Amino acid sequence: MTSDIMARREGAIGHISLSRAKALNSLTLEMCEAMIAALLQWRGDASVAAVVIDHAPHTRGFCAGGDVAMVRSSALEDGGKAGRAFFMAEYRLNHLLFTYPRPVISFMDGVTMGGGVGIALPASLRVATENTLFAMPEGAIGLFPDVGAGWYLPRLPGQIGKFMALTGARLDGAECLWAGIATHYLASEDVEEAKALIAAEPAAAAEILTDLSSPSPQPRLAGNAEPIERLFGPDTLEAIIAALKADTSRWAGKELAAVTSKCPTSAKVALRQFASAPADFAGEMAREYALAARMIMRHDFIDGVRAVLVDKDNRPKWKPGQAEAVSEEMLDAIFAPLPPGEEWTPLALAD
């Protein structure tokens, strides 16, 4: 098992801690495979009553995403083969957690973005703290809201999910609780006590977290619920941009800049994701895998990762650069099913 994952038994729980300190616990293929192996082992062990996922004490943040620098290199060097292998494993991990037969408790005590969202939101109990920083920032690198975000974000209240997908907005712990992303809000100083109590009595996990919960600060996002509902309500990217332009408030101007700085194709892919959801989570993961297989080979992803992570000039050159230039035919090609034998499949599990 990779040293970037710490998997062990503590009482009646299986405990997974992310431990890739130098990269804010961003997921690698090996980390995904190690987590899958631990989860499968515990799945067959009747003495494991629940699973806890968190980050190791010596690391900062829960999980900042996936190893997109590797995926970019794969797109440039091997036609995306290694990148697709990563997404196959990551999405299988996401699906395994979503369908896991025991309760899963995630502690989002720090940065929780991209791939981190994919291992946090399948949990039945999701804990935010004052350290939580939650976002789906894929539009900034020419990707799209993945790891199941096409399932989760449209189910948030009102237009919150669409707002997050198009702006890359960063929510704090109080905002996560208000939006329903988190089920509980704890002071970070109480997190270790919560884990110890849950290890001793997993069946009482929800009650333990409720008893240890702290009053959360007033969520800032709640104050913008009305303009989010109104300005992000339109079905098309062009109409959302027009609505933001027509609003003279400072808030609308800030969000207009956020939306228009992101990859237009990524934004339109997200809106199409939200408009039609598969019947189940496995279907969503299969669709997202097909999207990822195509999106990582596009100029936008390669240059987006260059701008954010390689050269760090934050000046990607999107192609197309305007919403109007992203046609329905382009989107149809991105959303087309993969050829037989190349599709995503969930793990084959014995009953």
Question: Which amino acid does the sequence have at 126?
Answer: R
Of 146, 175, 300, 303, which is the active-site residue? 146
Please say whether the beta carbons of 228 and 178 come within 8 A: no
Q: Which tokens belong to 58? A: 């010596």
Whole-angstrom CA distances from 107 to 179, 222, 340 are 17, 23, 38
Which helix or strand (DSSP H or E) is residue 106 part of?
A: strand 104-108
Of 115, 116, 161, 173, which is the active-site residue? 115
Phi, psi of 125 (to 5 degrees): -125, 125
d(C-alpha 266, C-alpha 1), whole Å = 35
Of 14, 61, 65, 66, which is the active-site residue? 66
Annotation marks residue 168 as catalytic? no
Annotation marks residue 66 as catalytic? yes
Annotation marks residue 115 as catalytic? yes
Q: Which of 102, 100, 89 lies closest to 5, judged by CA?
A: 89
CA triple 123-68-339, angle to 5 deg: 85
Please say whether the beta carbons of 289 and 336 come within 8 A: no
Biggest CA–CA distance in the chain, Å, is: 59
Annotation marks residue 138 as catalytic? yes
Question: Active-site residue numbers?
Answer: 66, 115, 138, 146
